[in-house]
Structure 1
Amino acid sequence: MSFKLNDSQQITLNDALFGPTDREKRMLEKSLAKPFAEKIFPKIDESLFACLYSDKTLSHFRKRCYTYELATGTDLIYETIIGLSGEMAKIMKIN
């Protein structure tokens, strides 16, 4: 392998690529991203899902979900989606 001079400027952490513009910040503040990040995301108990991630393949994930449901009677994915949708409804003031 040989050395080749890089004529372009190196990207730094302060480049505009890494931070949102003022317009993007305003749009983000008006969206549901902030309430989701502040109110809902911290309430997700990740320890419930620890048993599902020992293998990275989807088939093993489905198998573990099914096995967990058979053992506990709890469908983790369904309950999490229902819980999160309830939290979103509260934030959006929807009955």
Structure 2
Amino acid sequence: MAFVANDYNQISLNDSAFSLTQREKKFLAKSWAKAFAQKVFPAIDEEEFSVLYSDKAFRPNTPVNVIIGAMILKEMHGVTDEEILESLIFDIRFQYGLHTTSSMEQPLSDRSLSRFRERCTTYEAMTGIVLFYKDSCI
């Protein structure tokens, strides 16, 4: 898998947030999702994790900032991998927080998180470097 930085900061014309009522937008703006989308998500440095991916032109990776953001939300909400995936698919707050409201299909699969953790663990075993603890990661 080749590393490609995420461009999910662009909003498309078919963004699901546009179809919200004013009342729904107001509730979304008062939820945890707005602070997460504005403060936490942009602070995730995907480049730190590029070492986990090939330099060769393969299919692109699942966006690293979406994976890490989902892992943070998973811990915040005390849910399983499956539950965070379900939340991302069905709950606009999770989509808003992870900047995926413009996605036709949510970018995480049922194995995205476990494969990413596996890559991090393998990298740590080989190098002794824990990517999650690097200063500029989050």
Q: Structure 1-normalised TM-score?
A: 0.48
Q: Which has the higher contact order (CA 8 A, sep 6+)?
A: 2
The structure whose Rg is larger is 1
